Amino acid sequence: MHFAYPGPILEPHYSPETILLTQKAGYQTAVTSTNGPVCRESNPLALRRVAAPNSMDEFKWKSEKSFLKRTI
């Protein structure tokens, strides 16, 4: 099972307590609204996201940039 934390009014919109409750509820992964790439060391119950692009070129650019962990 997978979970998405609600959109934030304040950052962060999740806490160690909500992560624990998500785990106890049986979720395997959960995504946040925090921008950024996911890496091997990421907590599976607090995964970041990359915003959806408007075009295929933008998708390729953001994917490559995220994969290489570059900020421009």
Residue 39 has pLDDT above 90, yes or no: no
Within the chain, strands assigned E span: 2-4, 29-35, 47-49
**72 lies in a domain?**
no
**7 lies in a domain?**
yes
**46 lies in a domain?**
yes
**Which tokens go with 28?**
């395997």
Which residue range is the domain that position 40 belongs to? 2-67
Report which residue type is found at 43. Answer: N
**51 lies in a domain?**
yes
Burial 17-53 (b: 16+ CB within 10 A, else e): ebbeebeeeebebbbbbeeebbeeeeeebbbbeeeee
What sign does the dihedral 72-56-45-19 (CA atoms) show?
positive
Number of domains in the chain: 1
What average pLDDT does range 8-23 have in this prediction? 86
Quick one: pLDDT at residue 48? 92
Q: Is this structure's pTM higher than 0.85?
A: no
